[in-house]
């Protein structure tokens, strides 16, 4: 499944939820399904700067060159948002991540329904994920 296939799947899931209270409930449900991050990964190096709540994103390089992300947050809605990002961007190559147009955020109306501080946090999460991809791609070019 491509990044766009996954985004389209998310858009379809949200299309059935016309009320924003239902959408928030679904986002929280998704966050509750996110596996917890190990305590040894909840370190300052994995903490996202610019988020109102605490968000950690850790990465591992898989043998096939893809990047697997793990994440957690101390805020329910944010945890759901980060779970959506994990679903779209985890287990992808650095190039896939760097070339991704994350249109699902606008299509599901998320960007219109986040507070300015949560919107800044979302941007910071995406930026950190892309920074991981840049770093892994740089490592590839040295090999």
Active site residue 89: no
Integer Cα distance of 32 and 76 in angstroms: 8
Q: Evaluate the CA torsion angle 124, 31, 24, 8 in order and state its sign.
A: positive
Q: Outline where the chain has alpha helix (H).
A: 3-15, 20-33, 76-89, 94-99, 104-107, 116-142
Instruction: Single out the catalytic residue among 3, 10, 51, 88.
Output: 51
Catalytically active residues are 51
């Amino acid at each position: 499944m491509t990044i766009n296939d996954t985004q389209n799947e998310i858009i379809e899931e949200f299309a059935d939820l016309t009320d924003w209270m239902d959408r928030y409930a679904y986002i929280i449900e998704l966050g509750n399904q996110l596996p917890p991050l190990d305590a040894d990964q909840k370190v300052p190096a994995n903490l996202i700067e610019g988020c109102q709540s605490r968000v950690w994103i850790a990465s591992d390089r898989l043998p096939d060159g893809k990047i697997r992300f793990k994440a957690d947050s101390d805020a329910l809605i944010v945890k759901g948002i980060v779970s959506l990002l994990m679903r779209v961007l985890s287990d992808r190559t650095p190039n896939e991540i760097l070339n991704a147009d994350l249109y699902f955020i606008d299509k599901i109306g998320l960007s219109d329904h986040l507070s300015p501080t949560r919107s800044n946090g979302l941007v910071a999460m995406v930026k950190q994920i892309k920074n991981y991809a840049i770093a892994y791609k740089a490592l590839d070019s040295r090999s």
